[in-house]
Amino acid sequence: MLRVDIITIFPDMFGPVLNESILKRAQEKKKVDIRIHDLRDYTDDKKHRKVDDRPFGGGPGMLMMPQPLFDAVKAVKARRKVKVIYTSPAGKPFTQFYAKTLTKAQNLIIICGHYEGIDERVREHLVDEEISVGDYVLTGGELPAMLIVDAVTRLIPGVLGKEESLIHESFEGGLLEGPQYTRPADFRGKKVPDVLLSGNHKSIEKWRHEKALAMTKKVRPDLLKKGV
Ligand code: 4HQ
């Protein structure tokens, strides 16, 4: 079972996301073991539970101190094949392909960053993978951590049911999904394409593939270039 350890100064942010829907079921089915750890439990500063300090050389803002992070990672490490992840806009872009590679680990440890970032020694000696979830700046690493856990967990065999199956969806064929319709066949004069009502599975497949290709070319031509 994949184990995920999340190190954060806001442990309460995770419950509402991890304890609902597919992520909740995946944990109940013992497909993934997700544990949240409060970074402040690992600081040597018993009095103020400090985890940040001022940057050498001056400048605005605070940095995450190395001591609580090194000790937290050491304490939570649970398996041999472990990857320590730090999320930041300077990381490698997170993609479906990247998510797949992370399912190969036995233990993911995700450090949620705050303030102006981390002491460089954490990056050099503790972090294995620095991941960016997009070219924008967030208030902290908690949302990126949830996003990574979500994308990785749903790839674990047995997490998704047949209904949510992985085969015909965006990215699995390297394409975005084309248009889809449900009932009614005529909604206030707006009709569903005839081919989808034809019952001819071969023509339906062909039509879907053509639409997926056209859609991808139009909105994300970059996806057609290589395995994103
Ligand atoms: N942050 N992709 C700054 C991000 C981010 C992103 C996380 C904000 C780390 C220190 N992380 N903290 N974009 O914006 O991953």
Q: Which helix (H) or strand (E) holds 173?
A: none
Say what the pLDDT of residue 225 is.
87
Higher-confidence residue of 139 and 171: namely 139
Q: What is the mean pLDDT of the chain?
A: 95
Q: Which helix (H) or strand (E) holds 196?
A: none
Pocket residue to mutate for ligand 1, from 87, 127, 147, most atoms within 8 A of Cβ: 87
Higher-confidence residue of 228 and 137: namely 137
Burial class (CB in 10 A: 0-12, 13-18, 19+), 67: middle
- Counting from 1 in the atom list of ligand 1, the atom nearest the Cα of 94 is 2
First to last CA, the chain: 27
Ligand 1 centre distance from Cα of residue 216 (Å): 28
> For residues 183 and 132, what is the distance between their CA atoms, to the nearest angstrom?
39
Q: Does the reported pTM lie above 0.85?
A: yes
Say what the pLDDT of residue 167 is.
59
Say what the pLDDT of residue 166 is.
56
Higher-confidence residue of 163 and 147: namely 147
Pocket lining for ligand 1, CB < 6 angstroms: 87-89, 91, 113-114, 117, 132-134, 136-138, 140-141, 144
> For residues 113 and 68, what is the distance between their CA atoms, to the nearest angstrom?
12
pLDDT single digits (tens) 164-175? 765 556 665 789
